[in-house]
Structure 1
């Protein structure tokens, strides 16, 4: 008699190229905008391309980042369609959780964009377009990275909605990529604003001396 083997369900199909294409797209986007934004900050490459109009250059980068985001989402959904489903992830309770995560993710992303504006959201600091004050209201009073955390929630919600373990794996990759990006972005952005404050303090000191 042949030995009994419990039925197994393949969680992730590593033979699907779409899985790795999606993972590459997820990693590429923050790498792209960080490299381009730093080149802009140091060398003004985009501002020069737009004839010295930094705001127009920032809007062009915003459009590019937004378009790359749409492509990333398309590749992610395509990758999920190529992956096996898992029965436990097809329960109604999981679907409710999925919708909740997607809703939370969208609220975080949209509200942070509303609070920061287009230039504040899409790296305007690197173009010299600085905000007057640090935004501390919703959603920044809940999380210091609502765009990234909201996006991660949406990725996870979509994975659960499709019932795909591969989506959970890709969501973990999203989280890792965003955490690495934050380690580079946060100190750099903080230094941009610290530099402005030093320049303001120096200018105020100079004006005080002139007035004496």
Structure 2
């Protein structure tokens, strides 16, 4: 019980250092929620209607690159607003020490490696749901970082958020990181079965031919 009591005391101490009335934090939360829904719903609309390809003069390749650019840009905006939001948040005495900063640096470094190596392996089209635009890979990537994590892009991004929050000793950063992780878990539930369906459909067409 002592451990539980201490954990709860720590939780409430950190929670008190979060200013939920901050407009910057509210904006950051909005982007954290919106972005993954945007890229999943946008890709789903393209798969079902080819709307984005039609708007891109009938070119699926142009559509996927424009879509990728929009997702990448929204990600940059989200990351900038997140950093600005937590910088104006209260600093926690519990987190403001060299050991927590070191943990934050390690989290950010590992997260960056996972994100960058994922993008390198997948390429632009693969990173931004190109299979929904008709660009399917011949086989599943199984080497690093996909031999370590099923979703290194999402997990790596979460670690970057967490690392930033810990580096600046901001409880709001931890809260935002938990929300990032929750949103990625949600979109995985949406994305993975549908992606599997896309590849299953291709295999069925191959067998029928």
TM-score of the two chains, using structure 2 as the length reference? 0.91
Corresponding residue for residue 79 of structure 2: 73
- Report the 3-state secondary structure (helix = DSSP H, G, I; strand = E; otherwise coil) of the residue aligned with 1:90: coil
Report if the CA contact (8 A) 1:9-1:86 is conserved. no
SS at 2:95's partner residue? helix
Q: Kindly name which structure, 1 or 2, has the bigger radius of gyration based on alpha carbons.
A: 1
Going from structure 1 to structure 2, the CA distance change for 1:36 and 1:10 (only over 3 Å counts) comes to same
Runs of 5+ unmatched residues, structure 2: 1-12
Q: 1:86 to 1:41 in 2, by over 3 A?
A: same
Residue of structure 1 equivalent to 2:143: 137
The answer to whether the 8 Å contact 1:158/1:167 transfers is yes
Q: Tell me the distance in 2 between the aligned counterparts of 1:60 and 1:130.
A: 18
1:179 is aligned to 2:185? yes
Cα drift, residue 82 of structure 1:
1.7
Q: Which residue of 2 aligns with 1:99?
A: 105
| Equivalent runs, 1:88-167 vs 2, <5 Å | 88-167=94-173
2:58 corresponding residue in structure 1: 52
3-state SS, counterpart of residue 148 of structure 2: coil
Q: Distance in 1 between matches of 2:14 and 2:118?
A: 43
Structure 1 outlier segments of 4+, above 3 Å: 7-10
Q: CA deviation at 1:9?
A: 9.3
Structure 1 pair 34–9 and aligned structure 2 pair: CA distance change class (3 A): closer
CA–CA separation in structure 1 for the residues paired with 2:14 and 2:192: 44
Change (3 A) 1:88 1:54: same
Contact 1:10 1:84 (8 Å CA) reproduced: no
CA 1:50–1:8 in 2, change beyond 3 Å: closer, same or farther? Answer: closer
Post-superposition offset of 1:88: 2.1
- Tell me: CA distance 1:200–1:9, structure 2 relative to 1, closer, same or farther (3 Å): closer
Asked if the contact 2:28–2:78 (Cα under 8 Å) also holds between the matched residues in 1, the reply is yes
C-alpha distance in 2 between matches for 1:45 and 1:16: 38
Say whether residues 1:83 and 2:94 are aligned partners: no
Task: Kindly report the root-mean-square deviation, in angstroms, between the aligned alpha carbons of the 2 structures.
Answer: 1.5
Pair 9,148 (structure 1): closer, same or farther in 2 beyond 3 Å: closer
Pick from 177, 197, 201 the counterpart of residue 195 of structure 1: 201
Deviations for 1:39-58, whole angstroms, at most 9, x for unmatched residues? 10010011111112111110
Alpha-carbon distance, 1:10 to partner: 3.8
